[in-house]
Structures are given as C-alpha cells and as structure tokens.
C-alpha cells in the first residue's frame, strides 16, 4: 500500500483507481486523513467538526459490496460544508443559534454523494450562514490561508478550500451565491466550480426555486473537479430545478483535449476596480491560450446593472430565508447578516420587479456575447488574500466600496448571468500568494468549460503545487 504521504499527495482520480483495484481501502484513506488533520488543522482551522466513527461505519458497509459496485467514488472521503445537513453530525451554519444542532436527516446532495461512493468524514468551516467572503464565525473562529497564515482564505467555502490546499481532502463540497466557491479557490490555489442552476440537486429551503446559490465541487485540479461533478450531478424529484445527468461524463469532457476557438479576457467586466498585480497575472495566463492557436481578445458582456441587481436579489434571499431568525434571535446574528435581512425586508415589489428585469437583460446579453466567444476569462478575485483581521474588503485600487459585498462584483455578475464558472490557479504574486483565473461558459456549458480549463491548466504548468504545509509569510 502507498505511504500516507503518497496518498495525501495523490490526485482524487488516482485514488479512485486504487480503490477500484483494491490497492487501498476506504479505511486506509480515513486513517491517512485523520493523521494529516492532526498534523496541520490546528494551524488553519478548516475542518472543525470531524465524524470519523460515522465515516468508518459507512466505509465498512461499502466494503461489503464488490469493488466496481461502490459508486463512482468507490469510497473516497469527502468533507461537507457546514451549511449543509449531514444526518447525525453537528451542523452549525457557523451560527451560535445552531451551535448544538444535529440534524436527523441529510440534504439530498449528501445522500446522492454517499450513494455514489463518497464517505463523509468532516464538516468544513464557513462564515455565519455563508455571509461574507471571509471564513470566520463565533462558533469555531477563523479559517486561515495556508499560503500565509496571517491571511484570509476567503469564503464562504473557505474551510473546504483550505482542506484541499493542505492535503486534508482530495475533493470537497462547497456552495456559491456571490463567489463562495470561486473566491476561496482563488485565494488557496485550488479549483472550484459554480455549476449551472440545477446541475447539482440539493434540498430546497425557504423557497422552492431559489437559484442565486448553487452547490458545487472543489478539487486540486480540473480532472478531479470533473470527477466530483459527475458524482453529485443529476435530477432528483425533491429538487424541481435539478437537471438530468448528461450522456457523456464531465470527466471525459475534461480529458477530451477540446480547445475553445475564441475566448474573451476582461480584467474588470467594466464594473469593478482590480488590483494591478492580479490584473497582470490573469491577463498573462489568459493570453497563453494563444500558444495552442486560441484567439484571445479583450471583451466582456454589458453587465452594468450587476451591483444594484445583486444587492436587491441577495437581500430578498436573506429576507425570505432568515427573517424569522431576525425576529426571534437577533442578538445572536452578526451585523452583516442583520443588515442583509433588513435590506430585504425594506424592498418594494417595484424594486424586485426592476432587479428581475435587470437580471434577465444581463443573462440575455451574456448569451448573445457567447455567440462570438466560447469562454470569458476574468480575475476570480480582484484583490490578493487580505489580512484575516479584516472582516471584508473595503477598497481596491483607490476605490472605496459602498457595502461589504461590493468587492465581489466580478463573480456575482456571473451568478446573475446564470453561467457556470470556475476558478483555476493561474499564477503567484511576487509575495508567493496564489491567484485564480475565473473561466466562464454559457449556461449549461460545463463540459466545454472543463475541457478548456484542462487545456489551459496544462499550458500553465502549475498543477500539483498543492497540497502544501501551512506556512507563515516569512517562509
């Protein structure tokens, strides 16, 4: 059997091959992870809730089945973000209100994952209710960026990204409303995908057709990401927005070698400031598509209403999902969550009508834009990983932001346009911090997106830079 260190450094695809050949067992993997977490998580605080007893019970039950009948993942362990219910496992949503909450049933995403051979062994840290792109909460405290422990891991899937970057996970579950998968992926040097609406089923809460937020996969490389998307996608009767599984796997699409013909790069989508170093690194990465004959041009769709539209629709989402908590547990909510809910409760129907019309217009213009381009490339975040003490980014390149989410415009504009998008590691700053390139495809275009991302990943040659040991800036 490979050593624990070799296992930790291995790709998810390679591990699944070893599971299917019998070279390793799910129990071997859980042992290796438990040791790795004991070594590094005291420095990063990525996986505050562990459930290894439950995981081993599940692994033993899987091992009663013949190899090849254990699902797509074959017994591969996966952590679940702490916003999503796992039966019998403490699920806090990062809130003191739910600090002792143990759900009786799992979200349908978890059930699907487990039926496809995933073994849940941990919950990953998240900000309170996923609000704010810096992973800290009053239940567990902050999650630190392993590339520089004084820096933020972003959010809200910060714990998941850090677990991947440090070898405490091969795959990790996340979710994304305004960049919650893409920002941590960028800050931590891993890959995170926001899929199309309905691609990954999950249990509806508060509203049957909420679609700003989606669930999605995170991994260390594009192939592993595609494998995980295959394991968690498909239709489910409990989620009326869920899409049928495609006839061709996302892993085969990632491995196809199919290149886009023409891509657009934009440093700012015309709506946001961007740190000059981030702009330079992402522009250089995008331009390297030309090395394999791809036409690269500077262009972007018209997304000028993104800030107003997202502010309204996000506030409405907080109101419908959290207003009862504001009424009953206000003293336990952080100021940013209170602000979001109150903004939502103030909304008029006219403002909602205007925001929905704006979203439709942006989605239609983006669809028209993709008649000329196969992919749109931008920075995944507009700043470098910032000091962990900062609750959010207040300004960038001399521009002060109006609220605590406006710095996320480059990702939430893509959310509003209903596009799948991933963050691909594309380079490092002069100080050694990772930078992510956001790659965007038209709605339901995950296959082309993954194929193009794998091609660029090969060109850039920085796959395999994770996992790392957590480090301080001086290292």
Instruction: Copy the structure tokens of residue 388.
Output: 């962990």
Phi and psi at residue 179, in whole multiples of 5°?
105, 15
Q: Quote the CA–CA distance of 182 and 218 in Å, as a whole number.
A: 9
Q: Are strands 262-265 and 295-298 parallel, antiparallel or unpaired?
A: parallel
Phi and psi at residue 159, in whole multiples of 5°?
-60, -40
Cis peptide, bond prior to residue 293, ω within 30 of zero = no
Q: Quote the CA–CA distance of 70 and 329 in Å, as a whole number.
A: 43
The reply to whether 156 belongs to the active site is yes
Catalytic residue among 152, 180, 242, 423, which? Answer: 180
Angle between helices 306-329 and 335-345 (to 10 degrees): 110
Q: Quote the CA–CA distance of 33 and 121 in Å, as a whole number.
A: 9
CB 121 within 8 A of CB 50: yes
Q: Quote the CA–CA distance of 367 and 361 in Å, as a whole number.
A: 10
Contacts of 346 (CB under 8 A, 6+ apart): 315
Q: Quote the CA–CA distance of 68 and 46 in Å, as a whole number.
A: 32
The reply to whether 474 belongs to the active site is no
Q: Quote the CA–CA distance of 178 and 182 in Å, as a whole number.
A: 9
Instruction: Copy the structure tokens of residue 211.
Output: 């679609």
Catalytic residue among 156, 242, 321, 423, which? Answer: 156
Give 173's strand partners: 217
Catalytic residue among 10, 81, 123, 322, which? Answer: 81
CB 361 within 8 A of CB 305: yes
Instruction: Copy the structure tokens of residue 92.
Output: 């806090």
Q: Quote the CA–CA distance of 139 and 152 in Å, as a whole number.
A: 17
The reply to whether 321 belongs to the active site is no
For 287-348, give the DSSP string: HGGGGGT-EEEE-----TTHHHHHHHHHHHHHHHHHHHHHHHHGGGS-HHHHHHHHHHHT--
- Choose among 363, 239, 368, 265: nearest CA to 309: 363
Kindly list the catalytic residues: 81, 156, 180
């Amino acid at each position: 059997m490979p050593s624990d260190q070799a296992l930790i450094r291995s790709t998810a695809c390679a591990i699944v091959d070893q599971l299917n050949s019998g070279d390793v067992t799910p129990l071997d993997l859980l042992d290796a992870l438990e040791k790795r977490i004991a070594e590094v998580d005291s420095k990063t605080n990525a996986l505050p809730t562990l459930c290894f007893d439950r995981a081993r019970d599940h692994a033993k039950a899987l091992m009663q089945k013949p190899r090849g009948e254990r699902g797509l993942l074959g017994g591969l362990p996966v952590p679940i973000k702490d916003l999503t219910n796992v039966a019998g496992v403490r699920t806090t949503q990062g809130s003191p209100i739910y600090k002792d909450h143990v759900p009786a049933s799992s979200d349908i995403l978890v059930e699907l994952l487990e039926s496809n051979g995933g073994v849940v062994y941990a919950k990953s840290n998240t900000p309170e209710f996923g609000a704010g792109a810096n992973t800290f909460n009053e239940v567990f405290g902050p999650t630190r960026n392993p590339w520089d422990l004084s820096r933020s891991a972003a959010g809200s899937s910060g714990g998941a990204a850090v677990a991947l970057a440090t070898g405490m996970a091969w795959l990790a579950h996340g979710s994304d409303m305004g960049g919650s998968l893409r920002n941590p992926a960028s800050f931590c040097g891993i890959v995170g995908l926001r899929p199309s609406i309905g691609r990954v089923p999950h249990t509806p809460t508060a509203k049957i057709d909420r679609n700003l937020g989606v669930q999605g996969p995170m991994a260390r490389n594009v192939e592993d990401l595609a494998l995980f998307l295959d394991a968690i996608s498909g239709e489910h009767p409990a989620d009326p927005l869920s899409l049928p599984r495609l006839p061709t796997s996302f892993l085969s699409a990632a491995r196809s070698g199919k290149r886009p013909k023409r891509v657009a790069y934009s440093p700012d989508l015309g709506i946001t400031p961007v740190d000059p170093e981030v702009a330079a690194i992402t522009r250089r990465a995008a331009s390297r598509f030309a090395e394999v004959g791809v036409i690269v041009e500077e262009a972007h769709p018209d997304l000028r209403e993104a800030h107003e539209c997202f502010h309204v629709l996000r506030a409405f989402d907080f109101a419908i999902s959290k207003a009862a908590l504001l009424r009953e547990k206000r003293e336990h909510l952080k100021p940013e969550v209170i602000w979001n809910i109150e903004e939502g409760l103030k909304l008029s129907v006219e403002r909602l009508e205007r925001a929905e019309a704006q979203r439709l217009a942006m989605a239609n213009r983006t669809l028209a834009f993709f008649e000329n381009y196969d992919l749109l490339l931008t920075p995944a975040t507009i700043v470098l990983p910032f000091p962990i003490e900062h609750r959010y980014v207040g300004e960038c390149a001399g521009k002060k932001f109006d609220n605590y989410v406006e710095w996320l415009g480059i990702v939430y504009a893509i959310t509003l346009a209903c596009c799948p998008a991933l963050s691909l590691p594309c380079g490092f700053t002069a100080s050694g911090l990772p930078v992510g390139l956001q790659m965007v495809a038209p709605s339901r275009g995950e296959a082309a997106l993954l194929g193009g991302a794998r091609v660029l990943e090969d060109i850039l040659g920085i796959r395999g830079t994770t996992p790392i040991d957590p480090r301080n800036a001086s290292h």
